[in-house]
Amino acid sequence: MNNSSEKQNWRKRIVSWVDGDREPKDQTLFVMERRQPRFPRPSEEEREKREKSHLKKFFNWYPIAATIICVSLIGILMAAALSMPTFGQADNPINNEVSEHYLEHGEEETGSANAVTAMILSYRGFDTLGESCVLFLAVVSVMMLLLRDEKNTDEHDLQKMRSEDIIAEEHHDIILKQAARFLVPCIFLFAIYVLLNGETSPGGGFSGGTILGAGLILFSSAYGPGNMRMILTYETYSAVRTFGLVLYITLYGAYIFIGANNLPNYLEGMTLLIDLAVGLVVACTVYGFYAMFARGEI
């Protein structure tokens, strides 16, 4: 009995610590705080004056320090650029057997005619995996900070959002809506073209995903969040985002495993699927940033 109540107490303390509340005060600390401070606290005016003088000093020094840092950085970069090998020479260190191999055997080994896609998605795919994880984590942290729920939203915010919605409803813009009606399918089509054509022409996951996200942003800002929720709810959004990353990890893991063990390459169109996965992650990142910053909800 005693044990279980103690456990509950611990749980409560941990939950309050995670929520950022102050810990329940210790009695001894309480006594220490009750004592008279040894030095009298400065009055309000005095403190303001001191703050102002500090600020003034800061603003005097700030441009000077910024200039010094910038000039020294420019100097270092210029010196580095001067000692670099000249552009386009045949005996430069970048013209070694690695890039030669990529350019010569890239098409038959990865099955994509575009050397850039072949490189970032199969030879250097581990890099791209890290980048996708960074994007995923960025959206997760922005959501942690900006997603609205009942704990960090008060009545005032809700009131303001409702009044903004009413204003947007009154001023609905028929020109924007008609233009978006024509443009959004075109943008989606172009995004899919760039996404799926990354093997043979410039483009690929990152650019196609960004264009897809831009189309979603246009749709959301033209038709409002109510219509947006018809095609993309929060659950769908999370599912697509996670599905993209998991698909990438699975495919690339299989790719590394098969390639490393010298098995015959059954998965010819692998680059296409990996492209699709990266595109989904990037599109969700872009749209998620927009939605979080604009309204705090998907």
Cβ at position 199, least distance to another protein in Å: 12
Quote the DSSP letter at residue 35: S
Within a 13 Å sphere around the CA of 105, how many CA atoms are in the beta-carbon half?
8
Q: Should residue 217 be labelled a site residue for another protein when binding is judged by CB under 8 A?
A: yes
Within a 13 Å sphere around the CA of 151, how many CA atoms are in the beta-carbon half?
7
Which residue lies nearer to another protein by CB, 57 or 181? 181
Q: Give the distance from CA 248 to its chain's centroid.
A: 17
Q: Should residue 234 be labelled a site residue for another protein when binding is judged by CB under 8 A?
A: no
Residues from 48 through 107 that contact another protein (CB under 8 A): none
Q: Should residue 167 be labelled a site residue for another protein when binding is judged by CB under 8 A?
A: yes
Residues counted in the chain = 298
Of 288, 278, 12, 24, nearest to 141 by C-alpha is 288
Cβ at position 275, least distance to another protein in Å: 12
Q: Should residue 161 be labelled a site residue for another protein when binding is judged by CB under 8 A?
A: no
Please identify which residue in 136, 219, 252, 289 interacts with another protein, judged by CB under 8 A. Answer: 289
Instruction: Report d(CA 267, CA 247) in Å as an integer.
Output: 14
Specify whether the CB–CB gap between 203 and 278 falls below 8 A: no
Apex CA 283: angle with CA 281 and CA 285, to 5°? 70
Q: Should residue 298 be labelled a site residue for another protein when binding is judged by CB under 8 A?
A: no
Quote the DSSP letter at residue 162: H
Which residue lies nearer to another protein by CB, 220 or 248? 220
Which residue lies nearer to another protein by CB, 183 or 258? 183
Of the ranges 5-13, 48-56, 160-168, 265-273, which one interacts with another protein (CB under 8 A)? 160-168
Instruction: Report d(CA 194, CA 188) in Å as an integer.
Output: 10
Q: Should residue 183 be labelled a site residue for another protein when binding is judged by CB under 8 A?
A: yes
Footprint of another protein on this chain (CB under 8 A)? Answer: 114, 116-117, 160, 164, 167, 171, 173, 175-176, 179, 182-183, 186, 194, 202-204, 206-207, 210-211, 213-214, 217, 286, 289-290, 293-294
